[in-house]
Amino acid sequence: MSAALKQKVAEEMVRRLKWHHRFYDLADLVASWSKDPSTQVGCVIIDTDTRAVLSVGYNGFPRGVVDRPEWYEDRAYKYPTVVHAEVNAILSSMADLTGATLYCNIGIPCPDCAGPIIQAGIKAVVYPPANGEHKARCMTKDGLDLGELSEQMFEDADVEMLEYPREIKL
């Protein structure tokens, strides 16, 4: 490979990585809108070809439900009532999401979100590796690794998964 071609390939890789960072940053901003004090999740759905933002979502109670701090503090209330960021983004979209790419700021989407992602026709999911605390608290249920279950669902449905570390420097 010539030096000029190597340079061109390197520049293209940096350009793509910059877009991943931008959408992670946007997902972090959207996550900050969540009133959940313990877990703030943000999601951005983009048009894969144009990189136009199609929708955003964050975790929170459904529209019209009062944001009661005591419900966020009590998992018995919180878990069955909170709408996840990915589902909020899908439900809030006015666009056709077929072929879109979804960015999530906290880790691979859970199986409850993987189903709607697949049904919406989203074809790529980009996420950072889950940190240990989030994985232990949110991605394990009755001894089942929910991340592995999501991976299998995405694999079966031909949804591309890209675990992209946030720490890569440009």
Of 12, 70, 73, 86, which residue is the catalytic one?
Answer: 86
Task: Tell me, yes or no, if 86 is annotated catalytic.
Answer: yes
Three state DSSP letters for the chain: CCHHHHHHHHHHHHHHHHHHHHHHHHHHHHHCCCCCCCCCCEEEEECCCCCCEEEEEECECCCCCCCCHHHHHCHHHHHHHCECHHHHHHHHCCCCCCCCEEEECCCCCCHHHHHHHHHCCCCEEEECCCCHHHHHHHCEECCEEHHHHHHHHHHHCCCEEEECCCCCCC
Q: Catalytic residue numbers?
A: 86
